[in-house]
Amino acid sequence: MQHKFLLATLALVILLAACTPAAGPDAVPSADGISLTDGLGRVVTLAGPAQRIVSLTPSTTEILFAIGAGGQTIGRDLFSNYPAEALALADIGGSWGEYNQEAILTLEPDLVIAGGLNPPELVASLESLGLAVFYLSNPTTLEEMYGSIETIATLTGREAEAAGLVDSLEARVAAVNEAIQPLSYAPSVFFELDATDPANPYTAGAGTFVDLLIRRAGGINIGSELEGDWASISLEQLLVADPAIIILGDSLYGETPEKVALRTGWDQLAAVRDGRVYAFDDNLVVRPGPRLVDGLEALVEILHPGVLK
């Protein structure tokens, strides 16, 4: 049951991250405060930087804390569990897309930040309650993710902190690019998202952040050849692809290299025989926030140990 819940949640994250255009920080100077066009094409106006914020997605929550706006945040969705301080915020739900709108209204926020996980109907419903709601589209590249940070910084008055954060992230990505560029070997990778059925596990297809980050880390995602952003691959296909490395994005849900070795037929895979099966925190590659760069660096360490000095 736990894996089925993971399957549904991650499928939605990957699908929306892949197909939702990102909104830029097109701020309009105004005597009335801050005016920004969101990812739904709506102009959202605030009297000034938001001081009582409810975040509806984990990536937004992580961005808020990363730019120093955690103290301005009063509510978060059920899945926002990073950083640890976020757990002290009021939980307004979000399981299976169901948010407690009454609880949100009771918090009296001056801004609700929705994201790619949230349908436009939710935005409209919250707006009908008299709330200011900004819809932040999911980015599809690291560079667009920097734009998400800058947008939230404009809404919260944290532009200086965001500029420093983005500079740091860009420098770390540049270091990865420099380390990877001269390498001649790109290992094939199977990134496991759900193996409730070991004969037909799920992986991430082309256009997802998993695919993007594996490529930028100097690897080849075997899932990029499959149809769909969230793709099932048969054991037979997996044996033909014979990845050099297996990364367990579902390790937080109990999967281990030892369990993989015991799966029927998996002992024929080179990655299993060579002991190149690795546990991995998939939150680093499916939440479109600053920790994507952590995920990139972690992937490089798995694919090309020691190249990052």
Each residue's pLDDT tens digit, 25-42 = 454 444 559 999 999 999
- Count of the separate structural domains present in the chain: 2
Both 196 and 131 in one domain: the answer is no
Both 195 and 126 in one domain: the answer is no
The answer as to whether 149 is a domain residue is no
The answer as to whether 95 is a domain residue is yes
246: part of which helix (H) or strand (E)?
strand 245-248
The strand pair at 133-136 and 111-115 is best described as: parallel
H helix count then E strand count, the chain: 12, 14
For 243, the token pair is: 């990845």
Phi-psi region of 33 (alpha: psi -120 to 50; beta: other; left: phi over 0): left
Average pLDDT of span 36-62: 97
Place of tokens 């992230």: 169
Contact 295, 219 (CB under 8 A): no
The answer as to whether 297 is a domain residue is yes
**pLDDT category of residue 181 using cuts at 50, 70 and 90:** very high
Cis peptide bond prior to 83, omega within 30° of 0:
yes
Over residues 272-290, the pLDDT tens digits come to 999 999 999 999 999 999 9
Over residues 76-130, the pLDDT tens digits come to 999 999 999 999 999 999 988 899 999 999 999 999 999 988 999 999 999 999 9
Boundary of a domain, candidates 137, 158, 178: 137
**How is residue 21 annotated by DSSP?**
P
Contact 140, 17 (CB under 8 A): yes
Q: What is the CATH number of the domain that holds 129?
A: 3.40.50.1980
Boundary of a domain, candidates 137, 171, 203: 137
Both 39 and 108 in one domain: the answer is yes
Prediction pTM value: 0.89
The answer as to whether 153 is a domain residue is no
Both 33 and 102 in one domain: the answer is yes
Both 34 and 132 in one domain: the answer is yes
For residues 259 and 257, give the distance between their C-alpha atoms in angstroms, rounded to a whole number: 5
The answer as to whether 155 is a domain residue is no
Residue-averaged pLDDT of the chain: 91
Over residues 122-147, the pLDDT tens digits come to 999 999 999 999 999 999 999 999 99
The answer as to whether 9 is a domain residue is no
For 295, the token pair is: 């995920």
pLDDT of residue 100: 97
The answer as to whether 246 is a domain residue is yes
- DSSP β-bridge partners for residue 263: none
Which is more confidently placed, 29 or 213? Answer: 213
Contact 296, 177 (CB under 8 A): no
Boundary of a domain, candidates 75, 103, 137: 137
Both 212 and 124 in one domain: the answer is no
Both 193 and 107 in one domain: the answer is no
pLDDT of residue 32: 57
Q: What percent of the chain has pLDDT over 90?
A: 86
pLDDT of residue 117: 85
Both 126 and 193 in one domain: the answer is no
Both 222 and 298 in one domain: the answer is yes
pLDDT of residue 29: 44
Which is more confidently placed, 261 or 20? Answer: 261
Both 229 and 290 in one domain: the answer is yes
Both 215 and 279 in one domain: the answer is yes
For 76, the token pair is: 């978060």
pLDDT of residue 6 exceeding 80, the answer is no
235: part of which helix (H) or strand (E)?
helix 235-241
Q: Look up the domain containing 101 and give its range.
A: 23-137
